């Protein structure tokens, strides 16, 4: 009986040590391993929560359906693919490119341009500078057809909420239409207006209000990319 108890203690001790080593390695992993730790129903719930926090309405629905079946190896492959695209997007002048996590707990990309993609007060027409930047953005999307894009429109606090909800939706749609005209299929795009609910600067100054008149673009792995990653064919 003592031998059995001793063996059990050794087994538990080994498991704790192994778990500690794994945690240490995970803490030092690169961006390309994000999403590789997901699995089971818990992963799906975690993914949905993160997606909702990040504000990706489309991603939240996908996360609950796919999150539980995305394997560690697939997550790593998707992370590497996103790292490659992120490096390309960083070459766009004025682009602020960040690594974020989508609803499936997989690595994704957020793109914002200096002072946002600017609009005049009360307008949804893209200016010349934003069109130049979006043309380069569209070129990157063509090279990665296994991704989807969520586009959020934002306004400053000038005017009523109802007016700004419509305006922010119109701004997101303006970007979507530009991308469609640049060869990106509508099926890859989701748009949503946020009005002035997510400020990034001081609304009491003209400079701050200009920064609010923007759109933000999130690039996430679509079902095609996830399937290719699971099959080991993603390049």
Where does residue 122 fall: left (phi above 0), alpha (psi -120 to 50 degrees), or beta otherwise? left
Residues of the chain with pLDDT under 70: 1-69, 115
Q: H helices within 28-160, ranges in order?
A: 40-54, 57-66, 72-89, 128-143
Chain Cα centroid distance, residue 192 = 14
Distance of CA 135 to the CA centre of its chain: 20
Distance CA 134, CA 119 (A): 14
pLDDT of residue 69: 57
Tell me the pLDDT tens digit for each residue of 80-138: 999 999 999 999 988 889 999 998 889 999 998 876 777 888 889 998 888 989 999 99
The three-state secondary structure class of 231 is: helix
Token look-up 């609009």 returns 119
In angstroms, rounded to a whole number, what is the distance separating the alpha carbons of residues 72 and 194? 34
| Domains of the chain (ranges, CATH numbers) | 30-231 (3.30.1330.60)
> How much is the pLDDT for 19?
41
User: Which strand ranges, in their side-by-side order, compose the sheet holding 214-221?
Assistant: 95-101, 107-113, 214-221, 147-154, 189-193
- CA–CA distance, 169 with 163 (Å, rounded to integer): 10
pLDDT of residue 210: 87
The alpha-carbon radius of gyration of the chain (Å, integer) is 21
Q: What is the pLDDT of residue 25?
A: 37
Rounding to the nearest 10 degrees, give the CA dihedral for residues 69, 73, 75, 80. -160
DSSP string, 94-121: TEEEEEEE-TTS-EEEEEEETT-S---T
Single out the residue of 116, 134, 128, 129 nearest to residue 207, CA to CA: 116
């Amino acid at each position: 009986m003592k031998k059995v108890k001793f063996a059990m203690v050794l087994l538990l001790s080994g498991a704790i040590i192994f778990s500690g080593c794994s945690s240490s390695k995970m803490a030092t992993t690169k961006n390309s391993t994000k999403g590789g730790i997901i699995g089971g129903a818990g992963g799906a719930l975690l993914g949905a929560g993160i997606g909702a926090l990040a504000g990706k309405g489309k991603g939240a629905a996908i996360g609950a359906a796919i999150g539980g079946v995305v394997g560690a190896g697939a997550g790593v492959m998707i992370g590497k693919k996103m790292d490659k695209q992120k490096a390309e997007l960083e070459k766009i002048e004025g682009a602020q490119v960040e690594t974020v996590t989508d609803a499936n707990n997989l690595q994704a990309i957020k793109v914002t341009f200096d002072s946002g993609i600017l609009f005049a007060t009360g307008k949804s027409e893209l200016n010349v500078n934003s069109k130049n930047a979006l043309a380069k953005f569209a070129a990157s999307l063509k090279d990665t057809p296994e991704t989807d894009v969520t586009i959020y429109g934002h306004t400053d606090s000038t005017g009523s909420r109802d007016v700004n909800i419509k305006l922010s939706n119109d701004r997101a749609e303006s970007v979507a239409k530009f991308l469609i005209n640049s060869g990106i299929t509508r099926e890859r795009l989701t748009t949503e207006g946020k009005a002035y609910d997510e400020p990034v600067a001081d609304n009491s100054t003209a400079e701050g209000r200009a920064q609010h008149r923007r759109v933000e673009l999130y690039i996430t792995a679509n079902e095609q990319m996830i399937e290719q990653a699971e099959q080991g064919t993603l390049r």
